[in-house]
Amino acid sequence: MLKTIMVPTDGSPESDRALPVARAIARAQEAQVLLVQVVEFPVLAGDAYAERQVFQQTFDLLQQWSQDNLNRLAAQFRGASIRVESSQLTGNASEHLLDFERQHQPDLVVMATHGRSGLARFALGSVADRMVRHGIAPVLLVRGESEVSTLDKAMVMLDGSGVAEEALGITRELAGHPVQEVQFFEAVADPRDRAPATTYLMGVAERFAPSGVKTTISVEMGDPSVLIEAASREVDLVILCTHGRGGFNRLRYGSVAESVVQNSTRPVLLVRAAA
């Protein structure tokens, strides 16, 4: 079971879209939520004395707004009987979020991939990318326009490699809490690969029998990016492993996984490969 879930926020409506996902997992896992918001220093130009005054006023307003937002979100989690702690940080978003993660060692990070300027910007390829490349915990990304109401069914992208199977650890943790069905998916380009892939996925599914969740397998032929994006519309969560330290530019599926992260309307859970 997961003990702690880190939830970065910037207070924007897009950022808030990650909250139902975080609540669903925290409630099912009986995990504590660590809410974090980073206030960046405002950049001003003009008269030095006036600039210092405006800087302080602007910074004070941002800090107060951030604290109000953290209080609002914490109340929502407590209202759902979820233990929560909130922290306000100041400075560079990605650096401070990574430092916070290293200090608190959460089991999972849940965050949106779009945010607002003026506070920490959770833009795909910047803060979120750095959390995936340099963080220690799996990162569940929720796009601002993500369509999700439950996390009942998850799809795990595999390719027969040991690297891809590193995504199975977090999948086991979520099995039954809250995921109730797991589909193991593999895309093949050669018809001769269909039978071996089917046998492989059946073996993976058998390993999940003790979890008690329903398991299915799917082997499809064709363009992996098209197949995976189409298949992801039928599930609530997509789970896959990245390829080492390359972040979004070097995922196990390469441009395919990057396409899934950028275009999927479902949350995507990324596990960074150990090597």
* Residue extents of the structural domains in the chain: 4-142, 153-271
Asked, colleague to colleague, whether 4-142 and 153-271 share their fold, the answer is yes
**Percent of the chain whose pLDDT exceeds 70:** 83
264 SS3 class:
coil
- What's the mean pLDDT in 148-174? 91
DSSP string covering 132-187, please?
Answer: HHH-SS-EEEE-TT---S---EEEEE--SSTTGGGGHHHHHHHBTTTB-EEEEEEE
Question: pLDDT-derived band of residue 40, with 50, 70 and 90 as boundaries?
Answer: confident
Mind listing the pLDDT tens digit for each residue in 99-154? 999 999 999 999 988 644 444 444 544 788 788 888 999 999 987 666 666 899 99
- What's the mean pLDDT in 205-217? 95
Mind listing the pLDDT tens digit for each residue in 218-238? 999 987 777 777 788 889 999
Tell me, what's the pLDDT at 64?
A: 93
Cα of 199 vs its chain's centroid, Å? 30
Tell me, what's the pLDDT at 153?
A: 96
Q: In terms of C-beta density within 10 A (0-12 exposed, 13-18 middle, 19 or more buried), how is residue 238 classed? A: buried
- What's the mean pLDDT in 28-44? 89
CATH code 3.40.50.620 for 153-271: yes
Residue 40, φ and ψ in degrees, nearest 5: -85, 150
- Residue 75 is encoded by which pair of tokens? 């109340």
Categorise residue 66: left if φ over 0, alpha if ψ from -120 to 50, beta otherwise: alpha
CATH superfamily of 4-142: HUPs (3.40.50.620)
Closest CA to 23 of 96, 79, 88: 79
- Residue 7 is encoded by which pair of tokens? 């939830």
